[in-house]
Structure 1
Amino acid sequence: METDKRPPAGGGDGCLVGVIRIPVKIVAVLVVLPVRVVWELLVAAGRAVHRHVLRPLYVHVLEPLLRALGWLLTTLLKLVFVWPWVVLWRYVVVPVGQGLAWAWRGLYEQVLAPAGRFLTAYVLRPLGEALAWIGRGGMRYLLAPLAKGIGWIGWALGMTLFVWPWIGLWRYVLAPVGRGIAWLAAVVHRYVLRPVGLGFVWLVVAVYRYVLRPVGLGFVWLVVAVYRYLLRPVGLGFVWLVVAVYRYLLRPVGLGLAWLAGALYRYVLAPVGQVLVWAWHVAGRIVGALWRGLKWVGWVLVGWPASRVYRHVLTPVGHAVREVWRTGRAAVREARATVRRALFGAPPVEPSRSRARTLGSTTAADAAPADEISLPRRQG
Structure 2
Amino acid sequence: MDMDKRAPAGDGEGCLVGVIRIPVKIVAVLVVLPVRVVWELLVAAARAVHRHVLGPLYVHVVEPLLRALGWLLTTLLKLVFVWPWVGLWRYLLVPVGQGLAWLARGLYDQALAPAGRFLTGHLLRPLGAGLAWLGRGGMRYLLAPLAKGVAWIAWAVGMTLFVWPWVALWRYVLTPVGRGIAWLAAAVYRYVLTPVGHGLVWLLVAVFRYLLRPVGLGLAWLVAALYRYLLRPAGLGIGWLAAALYRYLLTPLGQVLVWAWHVAGRIVAALWRGLKLVGWVLVGWPASRVYRHVLTPVGHAAREVWRTGRAAVREARATVRRALFGTPPVEPARSRARTLGSTTAADAAPADEISLPRRQG
| TM class by smaller structure | 0.3 to 0.5
If asked which structure has higher relative contact order (CA below 8 Å, sep 6+), I would say: 2
Question: Is the radius of gyration larger for structure 1 or structure 2?
Answer: 2
**What TM-score does the superposition give when structure 1 sets the normalisation length?**
0.39
**What TM-score does the superposition give when structure 2 sets the normalisation length?**
0.40
